[in-house]
Amino acid sequence: MGKNKYMEKLNFNELISNNILPVIPLRGKVAFPHANISFEVGRSKTLKAVEKATATDKIVFILTQRKTEKTDVTPDDLYSVGCVARIKQAVQLSGGVVRVLCEGLYRAKARSVSVEGGLFQAVAVPIFTVHGDEVLEEAYFRTAKALVKDVLATDGKISKDVLSKLDQYENAEDYMDQVIANMRVRTEVKQRILEEDRIIERFKQFERCLNDELEISKIEKKIADSVRQSIDKNQKEYFLREQLKAIHNELGDDGKEEDEYRAKVLEKRLPQDLEIKCLKEIDRLGKMPSSSAEYTVIASYLEQVLALPWTEETKDTESLKACAKVLDEDHHGLEKIKERITEYLSVLKLTGSMKAPILCFVGPPGVGKTSIAKSIARALNRKFVRMSLGGVKDEAEIRGHRRTYIGAMPGRILYGMKNAGTINPVFLLDEIDKITSDMHGDPSSALLEVLDPEQNSTFRDRYLEAPYDLSKVLFITTANSLETIPTPLRDRMEIIQLSGYTMEEKLEIARKYLIPKQLTANGLTSARARFTEEGIRTAIEGYTREAGVRTLERTIGSICRKIAVQYADDKTLPKITVNKDKVFELLGVVKYKKDEERFVSEVGVVNGLAWTAVGGTTLTVEATAMQGKGELKLTGQLGDVMKESALAALSFIRAHAEKYGIDYEKFTQTDLHVHVPEGATPKDGPSAGITMATAILSVLTGRKVRGDVAMTGEITLRGRVLPIGGLKEKALAARRLGIKTVIMPYDNANELPELPDVLKNEITFIPVKRVDEVFDIVLEGGDAFELYKTEQKPQKLRKRTPKTLPVISEQPSHDGVRCK
């Protein structure tokens, strides 16, 4: 342990136990041992401390304030480590102020700081220096001396008296205290050095401080030299500008507006090229009258440039748990999106910087695509900007107009950045699949640059005429379908599929989010209305038929409004329980009922599954035969692909007529009519192939088709069943209808593990490779007809999933029903 000369004269046991000293709170300064420090005191507690010390042994305990601007301090506002000092001089000045000169004695730590007798008092416990390797200490000491000489040679702002004393110090600690006390260093840095009791660590901090001061001194000298060189040029410019101001004053234009623009441009820290361009525009502005039309154009341009964020950005959330908590608070499920955002934040945390991903959320309406984007912004602590692309058909909406046009403005991308005020917002491009094009250009082509991480760091808006960095923006796009998005644009985005919700998920979403939201919106509380699980389930099954929860929210809102009407009439009503009967009472006739007739086995009627832009749905394929010339009629607004599937199905059955016991002459003497009901709805896609083949074979053979089975799959002329898209949505549609068995392509079996457990538990999925397997299962008299009629799931077929299966990537269409 190290002691200084003053401390060696003291009885330390007596010092530690009885050394209760008056405390002087010091603002903006730090006292060090062996260094003189002068300051003025005027606060009552400080004056009393000086008076008490002067009247006794002149010893005080100097502690630095944490915040210099605070006048009424408490013990918590003081650093715990300070310097015990002796008052050498106290001079009374005017206004009740006393100037005090003190000499630091030794470092000490405050214990039991209190206010007694109108002044701060504390026990000052001496701090002893911890020494280590003497050779290492000597090396640090010599290095520090050399650095001090370099600083003094560059700076030269330490007094001559201090300089003459420095060479006399042989003790490293005393030398450090003397130098740091007389240097212009921030208070926090001085305090850290004062508090450090390990000599080696003190040396490290001391030398780090010296290096910083050396660099600052060099920069100051360089700036001073450059200023001297530019004085002559500046004087010339100043003279000319003064003359120009005089001319403007005579004309009634004082030029203040140009000076304001120039100051703002220099303060904004624009890219160098743009800053030069803006300064040139300001010079042009100063040479033309304010009534000129060109003056207004230039002024508007400068205002737009200055309104954009160039360096301002928000700091991302550092805690992954906090981010995940926010996402879970706002949305139930959507695990893929939450996982992707967590991945992005993790990589950003590890690398420090990265190009933001371009995400595209694809799914039916009402599943939370837009709202999850808002939650992502909140979770990342970023600003949120939304831009709707629905109906946008002019490229200038994205890139802006050139300034040569009257009323030209930047595009909506830069407009959104201006509203965000930061360079790293979450930017939502909503409904990107609804973009159209006309003679004014194709907006999707303009978005190619915006949504390309390799190009958007130099995005050029026609109005701005300079590169703008969008690389830190987290772009999120939403779409109901990918088929209307051009391939080059789709290729630049990371696609994340959002499926429809199961009944259980809708129940949870209603309980956690929709009901509390609607209760608050309609002036109700949980004390006035309570929704039972049975009531929520009734509202879902009887009054909504959707993949998302948008209609469900409106239905719950309708219930809450009707309850609000009852309470408005009679505020003494007891709490209302919304159960099944109450839902029927408030909402009236059920909109959607289960069609029990669809479960009846009939000839020529088959349940199919389709995937639309608004989620999965079931469709009935009907076929009938009549005397004719062997023609095939197709009705129900079927698209070309669906018609070709029907022809392929008929060709397969004709090629294998003998196998199925069909007289070949029947094909030439019988007309077949295939109809898909809901004729007003357009339908297309290949996945109804096995459905139409089953309907045609059923009507030609007279064999009934099971009504409790639904199917999906494309058929080939060889009878193979090809993979389809939207398996989860189709399975959800089957479950809504009450169907317990779904026939699907064998190549889609790799998607089964990703399906919700409730679907896998309630529905038997039968993967098939050939259409013959379908006929055996659903047609009366088939080999597997009776097997799948039981409630037991056929484990043998369920285990036919191969170890490695191809990944299927097919999408729904935008309009009508797409039988993918």
Q: How far apart are the first and last CA of the chain?
A: 82
What lies within 8 Å, CB to CB, of 798 at 6+ separation is 764, 765, 766
Catalytic residue, candidates 190, 277, 730, 820: 730
Provide the token pair at 384.
Answer: 């949120």
Burial code (b: 16+ CB inside 10 Å, e: under 16) for 233-262 equals: eeeeeeeeeeeebeebeeeebebebbeebb
| Cα of 526 vs its chain's centroid, Å | 32
Pairing of strands 605-612, 709-711: parallel
Q: Which residues pair with 84 in a beta bridge?
A: 61, 106
Q: What is the spatial distance between Cα 337 and Cα 377, in angstroms, rounded to a whole number?
A: 13
Run of H or E residues at 398? helix 396-399
Task: Let me know: does 129 contact 2? Beta carbons within 8 Å.
Answer: yes
Provide the token pair at 632.
Answer: 């095939």
Task: Let me know: does 640 contact 684? Beta carbons within 8 Å.
Answer: yes
Run of H or E residues at 169? none
Provide the token pair at 258.
Answer: 């140009």
Q: Which residues pair with 609 in a beta bridge?
A: 618
| Cα of 430 vs its chain's centroid, Å | 16
Q: What is the spatial distance between Cα 2 and Cα 8, in angstroms, rounded to a whole number?
A: 10
Q: What is the spatial distance between Cα 249 and Cα 243, in angstroms, rounded to a whole number?
A: 10
Computed on alpha carbons and rounded to an integer, the radius of gyration of the chain in Å comes to 41
Task: Let me know: does 688 contact 671? Beta carbons within 8 Å.
Answer: no
Q: Which residues pair with 683 in a beta bridge?
A: 638, 817
Q: What is the spatial distance between Cα 722 and Cα 765, in angstroms, rounded to a whole number?
A: 16
Q: Quick check: is 704 catalytic? A: no
Looking up tokens 């450059």, which residue turns up? 226
Q: What is the spatial distance between Cα 597 and Cα 691, in angstroms, rounded to a whole number?
A: 18
Catalytic residue, candidates 217, 481, 499, 687: 687
Shortest CA distance to 785 belongs to which of 694, 689, 656, 652?
694
Burial class (CB in 10 A: 0-12, 13-18, 19+), 64: buried
Task: Let me know: does 399 contact 462? Beta carbons within 8 Å.
Answer: yes
Provide the token pair at 597.
Answer: 């007739």
Q: What is the spatial distance between Cα 25 and Cα 36, in angstroms, rounded to a whole number?
A: 16
What sign does the dihedral 793-794-796-800 (CA atoms) show? negative
90: left (phi over 0), alpha (psi -120 to 50) or beta: beta
3-state secondary structure of 777: helix
Got the DSSP string for 576-607? EEE-HHHHHHHH-S-S----GGGGS-EETEEE
Shortest CA distance to 345 belongs to which of 314, 376, 303?
376
Q: Quick check: is 730 catalytic? A: yes
Task: Let me know: does 704 contact 673? Beta carbons within 8 Å.
Answer: no
64 φ/ψ angles, rounded to the nearest 5 degrees: -85, 140
3-state secondary structure of 415: helix
What sign does the dihedral 29-33-39-44 (CA atoms) show? positive
Task: Let me know: does 447 contact 489? Beta carbons within 8 Å.
Answer: yes
Task: Let me know: does 426 contact 372? Beta carbons within 8 Å.
Answer: no
Q: What is the spatial distance between Cα 690 and Cα 538, in angstroms, rounded to a whole number?
A: 34
Provide the token pair at 88.
Answer: 């050498």
Which residues are catalytic, by number? 687, 730
